[in-house]
Structure 1
Amino acid sequence: MWSFVTALFLATSGSAWAGGGTAVSYRIVGDAIPESLTGAPGNAARGRAIVASRQVGLCLLCHTGPLPEERFQGNLAPDLSGTGARWSEGQLRLRIVDAGRFNPATIMPSYYRSDGLVRVNPALQGKTILDAGQIEDVVAFLRTLREPPQQKAK
């Protein structure tokens, strides 16, 4: 079932979001998708742009992260700082592909899942939010985030 944030994601992303495409098959091993969805590594600069984008990834709607130029970052989800130190490439990939595998009640959308969803616009049925290349780019960017979140002064 889609969450409030998924609905908000689709509502706020407007017509710029056309769906990532049809998902290719992948293999889950434990808590990870060990192989790249494209067979090649992603591009961290493109991944950073997707994470920061208010039209594509919308990650900052819920997350905060080390993107100081981006205003109005979210506080509903964990800080993205240090994700590259906390999780392996494969673990990050699965979390982006389908966060619901870890927490069925998560508000994070499954960026690379198109089955088992309800109330999907007919034009978007069978499509993913991000395509395989975009998933790999986001994974590449998140892997660069090695420093833990900064402690805020009290």
Structure 2
Amino acid sequence: MRLSTLTLAATLAAGAAFANPVAPADVVFTEDGAVEQSLSGMAGNPEEGAKIMGSKQLGNCVACHSISALADVPFQGNVGPMLDGVADRWTAAELRGILSNAKLTYDGTVMPAYYKVDGFTRPGNAYTGKAADGPLDPLLSAQQIEDVIAFLGTLKE
């Protein structure tokens, strides 16, 4: 009986590692634009989040924001607010909502909706993520959003 319990626990744990991400159309936002539920069902990796934020091919967050923790990434912007101390100002749920669709929190913002696939025009096919026979993909995957949230969570005053 004990072996069966251990086997069941291992099976359940393995299944959790392969959680299905929340589809962009199924994201549940609170009244103020926060997203309480993890989009990937898994914890984020702050090291990967830092790479995503500093990469021109991925999030490219530094094009608009400056982040002292990414001082080695050149050409940081000043269009958006400095992100130093962002974990002291926002909860993970609020940050997840802002990353998923910033326009629900900041009407008129120029920040991209990183986890939205409809209701807007993207600038050219290189940024659509569109498969030849399928729908648009979000700019960042569910796990990439969680990775960015994990990195932002390290940015405290």
Q: Could you state the TM-score of these two structures normalised by the residue count of structure 2?
A: 0.74
1:116 aligns with 2:126: no
- Stretches of structure 2 that go unaligned for 5 or more consecutive residues are 1-22
1:40 aligns with 2:42: yes
Mapped partners of 2:121, 2:48: distance in 1: 30
Q: Map 1:120-135 to 2 at 5 A.
A: 121=125, 124=130, 126-135=136-145
Partner residue, 1:87: 90
Moved over 3 A (4+): 119-123
Identity %: 40
Q: Which has the higher contact order (CA 8 A, sep 6+)?
A: 1
Bigger radius of gyration among the two: 2
- Stretches of structure 1 that go unaligned for 5 or more consecutive residues are 1-21, 148-154
The CA deviation at 1:123 is 6.2
Q: Map 1:5-154 to 2 at 5 A.
A: 23=24, 25-31=26-32, 32-66=34-68, 67-118=70-121, 121=125, 124=130, 126-147=136-157
Contact 1:23 1:131 in 2 (8 A): no
CA gap of 1:123–1:57, structure 2 versus 1, over 3 A, is closer
CA-based RMSD of the aligned residues comes to: 1.7
User: Equivalent residue of 1:38, what SS?
Assistant: coil
User: Equivalent residue of 2:144, what SS?
Assistant: helix
Q: How many residues align?
A: 126
CA gap of 1:131–1:123, structure 2 versus 1, over 3 A, is closer
Q: Which amino acid is the alignment partner of residue 71 of structure 1? A: P
Which is helix-richer, 1 or 2? 2
Q: Deviations over 1:102-154 (max 9, x none)?
A: 2231110000001101256376352210000000000000011012xxxxxxx
